[in-house]
Amino acid sequence: MSVYFTKDHEWISVDGDTATVGITAFAQEQLGDVVFIELPALGNSLDKGAEAAVVESVKAASEVYAPVAGEVVEVNSALEAEPGKVNEDAEGAGWFIKLKLTDKSQLDGLMDAAAYRKFVEEQH
């Protein structure tokens, strides 16, 4: 299983042709207490860079973008009842969606964990 990161602070974990997507621990720290999450419908096709979900916190509302193109095959419906899971475990139980990848080559432009940490340090 490979994990990648985006400059929009999403993470993507790839297992075969299925990708799990969420926001990074850094992103949830910036947002503060998450109070609402809007997830896409199953079967939606998302283009790379398209809005995939919306996360609202006590501070702000923010879009979550699809790091790669794919079809939504699963959503973490537990987040609708317990959006705080994102604060507790952003890069684990707080995942947002699972996509069936349409083009694995889109992973090539994403960062690994070390590159993402460096990116965050340079931004702040």
Are the C-beta atoms of 5 and 111 separated by less than 8 Å?
Answer: yes
Confidence of residue 123 (pLDDT cuts 50, 70, 90): confident
Asked if the model's pLDDT at residue 124 lies above 80, the reply is no
> CA-CA distance, 13 to 76, in Å (whole number)?
15
Strands of the 51-57 sheet, one edge to the other: 34-38, 51-57, 61-65
Give CA separation, 94 vs 56, 76, 77, 123, in Å.
14, 8, 10, 24
**How far apart are alpha carbons 93 and 85 in whole angstroms?**
7
pLDDT, tens digit (0-9, with 9 covering 90-100), for 68-120: 999 999 999 999 999 999 999 999 999 999 999 999 999 999 999 999 999 99
Q: Where are the domains of the chain?
A: 2-107
Using a cut of 0.85, tell me whether the model's pTM lies above it: yes
When pLDDT is cut at 50, 70 and 90, the band that residue 1 belongs to is confident
For residue range 49-72, list pLDDT tens digits in order. Answer: 999 999 999 999 999 999 999 999
Average pLDDT over residues 20-36: 96
The verdict on domain 2-107 having CATH code 2.40.50.100 is: yes
User: Rounded to whole angstroms, how far apart are CA atoms 89 and 25?
Assistant: 8
